[in-house]
Amino acid sequence: MKVEKYYKCYNANAIVELNPADRMREAIKRTDDIIKHIVKLRNGLAPDYVEALIKRLLREVKGYSIDTNSVKLKKIEKDLTQLKQGNLLTNLVIRYMAMKLAIPKDSKIQSKKAEFTNLNRALALEGMNYYRVKAFEDILGKEEGIKLYTDILKLIVKEMKSKEEINEKDTVKSRCERAVKWWCKTGVGDFTFKLYDENKVIYRFDTCVTHEVLKHHNDPDIAYIASCFIGDIAEWNEGQYIHLRRTQTLHHADFCDELYWDTRVHNNPEQPSLEFIRKIGEEKK
């Protein structure tokens, strides 16, 4: 078993490069997908959901304006069934994302890569996810809202996975090496891990930017459903040879554990105990 050092990498001001217009189009597409599936699963509920989400976003962007027409939807028009250029909800998604990315008020949004802090990136993406889920709670209550969102998320993940290309030569170890490099470069969190072999690894996260940007809501259940939950549904591992399993996340505990294993080598391995995980890397801090 390889013992790795403790990586104290969390840095809210770490710089990442991204195309803001592309990220906004992705957020619009995800919002559109959710509404599309509401129409299919709960006919008649979509208008209430749209109204609830609009109310949430309006409260957030009050006093902030941006040139929403500078984000053109031509790239994704053929994939949209509910939202269009210039729609109120479309514009609110753009305004919210731009505000959280700290793009200067009343400016045009560039459709090219630019530098942003990883904190602002997470505030925009995770915050948008949070309000999309919160709107379900607003119209259905927490339990039923989460249930419907879960049903929709399963469909979205299946669509995502159907388009993925899997590199069967990739290993858990090589993924781990790339991830550690990226997480440290972008200041994602403070973490450590144990690599059992090339095909199994357990991580512990003590700080994570996703949790950091959502914890101020004091709403751990919705924050979890809006962020980490996607990796905990069965559909996430379907069709994959490298699987993920968690026991807990930072939304509800003092650390997050993530076990990855290659199913071609390890047959449903036991999850390490939380006591064991808690001790990983402690002597290396």
Distance CA 130, CA 144 (A): 16
| pLDDT of 43 | 84
Q: What is the distance, to the nearest Å, from the Cα of residue 74 to the centroid of all Cα atoms in its chain?
A: 25
Assess contact for 194 and 1: CB atoms under 8 A.
yes
Residue that terminates a domain, selected from 120, 137, 162:
162
My answer on whether 109 and 192 are in the same domain is: no
For residue 48, CA distances in Å to 32, 78, 80, 138 come to 14, 25, 19, 9
- Please give the pLDDT value at position 174: 95
Neighbours of 25 (CB within 10 A): 23
Please tell me whether residues 88 and 30 are part of one structural domain: yes
pLDDT at 251: 98
Which residues contact residue 23 at a Cβ distance below 8 angstroms, ignoring those fewer than 6 apart? 97, 101, 121, 124, 125
Are 105 and 211 contained in the same domain? Answer: no
Give yes or no: residues 142 and 30 share one domain.
Answer: yes
Q: Is there a single domain that holds both residue 255 and residue 194? A: yes
Instruction: Name the token pair of 45.
Output: 């509920």
Q: How many domains does the chain have?
A: 2
Last residue of one domain, picked from the residues 104, 132, 162:
162
73 and 196 co-located in one domain: no
Residue ranges for the chain with pLDDT beneath 70: 1-3, 283-285
Q: What residue numbers bound the domain in which 251 lies?
A: 2-12+168-284
Does 131 share its domain with 240? no
Whether residues 140 and 195 fall in one domain: no
Predicted pLDDT at 3: 62
Q: Are residues 27 and 74 in the same domain?
A: yes
Domain shared by 185 and 133, yes or no: no
Length of the chain: 285
Last residue in a domain, options 99, 130, 162: 162
pTM for the predicted model, two decimal places: 0.95
Q: Which helix (H) or strand (E) holds 203?
A: strand 200-208
> Mean pLDDT over all residues of the chain?
95
